[in-house]
Chain A
Amino acid sequence: MQTLNAMHSKKPDKIPMKNINETVYVTSGADAAAAASNTLRADVKSLSFWYGENRALSSVSMPVWDRKITALIGPSGCGKSTLLRSFNRMHDLYPGNRYDGEIRLYPEDRNLIEMDPGLVRLRVGMVFQKPNPFPKSIFENVAAGLRVRGIHRRAVLDERVEKSLKDAALWNEVKDRMHDSAYSLSGGQQQRLCIARALAPQPDLLLLDEPTSALDPIATAKIEDLLTGLRQSVTVIIVTHNMQQAARISDLTGYMHMGELIEYGDTGELFTNPREKRTSDYITGRFG
């Protein structure tokens, strides 16, 4: 099992700027020690990805730590969503896409790029940029992911739907109207419903693709709070264009640019003391 220490192998200033496939892995000593006691949930190993002829990811390598929030930041078109959508093989829905490399899924240590996409998606949950509840009741939306896994017993459904809605900080607002249409909820509530729907099957990994970009600041704050609450129980990867959000809620941050992972490591370190000039240019607003 790898640790962050092992990843932190090179001095940043020795990495030539031209060598595009070298990611800088930063971490402070204390964090590295903390990380060492942690386990890997997934490990991206030189993953490249093509939309037809267009290369969207260039040999990205990145460990994903169990029960941490990992944020991916970077300018539009940098490949952060592409990387995220590789974790649940969303690209397989569209023709002409191609992967190269590995995403190892732990603890069983299998390359999910070679697994059946349907099986991958039974283990990896996802929340999208735009709230996309099904045209069903609030209850059935959350129960949907349980039903597809063959769970039909009413008592189990009731219990897990309630727990997921509580985890998504929506329970108090909907407990008296569980059988209303999901479309009767506000945008922010719909997004929390989608989070509950993704949490209900207890995924090994939860992917969030700019989950608050369609929401107002209050709804955004609620979602950030609930994500912070999940930190101890769920492994989360979140793509965000909002750097303050990444700084507020994530444990680790990766900065991507032009399909490469430029720098990856402890969030506090990356934002206060980035090793790469491109990272510091981006986070100080000089670029992107």
Chain B
Amino acid sequence: MTNAASVVIEVQHNRSFGGASEKFLRRRAMQAAIARCILFAAAAASVLVTVGIVYVLVTESASFFSHVSIRDFLTDTQWTPVFENARFGVMTLVSATLTVAGIALAFAVPAGMALAIYLSEYARPGIRETVKPFLELLEGVPTVVYGFFAVLFVTPLLQIFLPELSGFNLLAPGLVMGIMILPYTASVSEDAMRAVPMGLREAGYALGYSRFRVAAQVVIPAALSGITAAFILGMSRAVGETMVVAVAAGQNPNFGFDPMEGAATITAYIVQMAMGDLPHGSIAYQSVFGAGIVLFVITLIFNVLGFYMRRRFREVY
């Protein structure tokens, strides 16, 4: 506190501060400063952790890329890091990752939209209050449970209809992952739909719209930013999901988009390598970081895309 300010306080404190002493005011300012420091440290910690992860990812993968050219990394269709003649075509893993995430989304988008529309526009409050906790419960199921659900229940079930389906395949984990992200995408979309002002719905009804037309022509367009964000974040989660694919998709790095065959995804490969005892600093060890940075870039692209779509579709009520 400057001298001038303290003088002012001394002269005025009885009147202006309701009788608070200068000591009290100083302690008050101190408390505010401490609170500010603690909160800043908490915010800074999260930023620092993120920066640290990116730093490790970049430095470790830099030494990986000093052994493997980026061109081979992106164009080769073989991924055999522990073979005598090691090859590092990351697209092998990326193809499986995108196939699983694509199947998950192909299931979660229509099902999630239908559920969100039902909850937001059709369901009576009592039904909504019953269904929502179930969705949250579904969100809390550990992912390894979903993995075993995929390999022990969904795959045999699908094999009844698709006899040529392999024991490890991309279809079952894709569908299960769709079920897994469904509660999240449905509940975020439902929040976005419910945030659409009632006045906009009334405008639709007043024109003679049916309930479905109000949902399709008024609520969804108005909530599109939130809905898009929900599905992009769901996609990002599907790409990063590990246990379901590690358990049910197999660990064979196969290039291709065939959902009937098993194939290792990026995350499945990373978990497989992390469980083995690879010598620190070996090329196979470093390949984990090479795969990791690709995963990082894919999810980053989805998040940026989500951000862009949100801005583009944002409507002002």
Contact = CB atoms under 8 A, between A and B. Distances in A.
B256 interface: no
Nearest to A95: B124
B142 interface: no
Interface string A84-96: 0000101001010
B316 A126 contact: no
Interface stretch (B60-68, B202-210, B274-282): B202-210
A134 B218 contact: yes
A122 interface: yes
Given A128-B199, A128-B203, A136-B221, A183 B213 contact: no
B210 A197 contact: no
B207 A148 contact: yes
Contacts of B204: 134, 144
Interface string A189-205: 00000100110010000
B200 interface: yes
A166 B25 CA distance: 65
A197 B202 CA distance: 13
B136 interface: no
B217 interface: yes
Contacts, number: 63
A211 interface: no
Interface string A101-127: 000000000000000001101100110
B198 to A, nearest CB: 8
A144 B207 contact: yes
Contact of A148 (B124, B209, B224): B209
Interface in A135-194: 135-136, 144-145, 148-149, 183, 194
Given A134-B217, A135-B315, A183-B315, A122 B208 contact: yes
Nearest to B224: A135
Range class of the B interface residue count: 20 to 34
A128 B210 CA distance: 19
Given A135-B221, A135-B222, A149 B208 contact: yes
A219 to B, nearest CB: 18
A231 interface: no
Interface in B110-144: 124
A90 B208 contact: no
A208 to B, nearest CB: 11
A136 B315 CA distance: 10
B217 A93 contact: no
Nearest to B204: A134
Given A95-B124, A144-B217, A148-B213, A132 B199 contact: yes
28 contacts: A90-B202, A93-B201, A93-B202, A121-B206, A121-B208, A126-B206, A128-B199, A128-B202, A128-B206, A130-B199, A132-B200, A134-B203, A134-B217, A134-B218, A134-B222, A135-B221, A135-B224, A144-B204, A144-B207, A148-B207, A148-B213, A149-B208, A183-B316, A194-B203, A197-B203, A198-B206, A198-B207, A201-B207
CB-CB nearest 4 A-B residue pairs: A122-B208, A126-B206, A121-B208, A135-B315
Interface of B: 124, 197, 199-210, 213, 217-218, 221-222, 224, 315-316
Given A135-B221, A197-B203, 12 more contacts: A88-B206, A90-B202, A121-B205, A121-B208, A126-B206, A134-B203, A134-B217, A135-B218, A135-B315, A144-B217, A148-B209, A183-B316
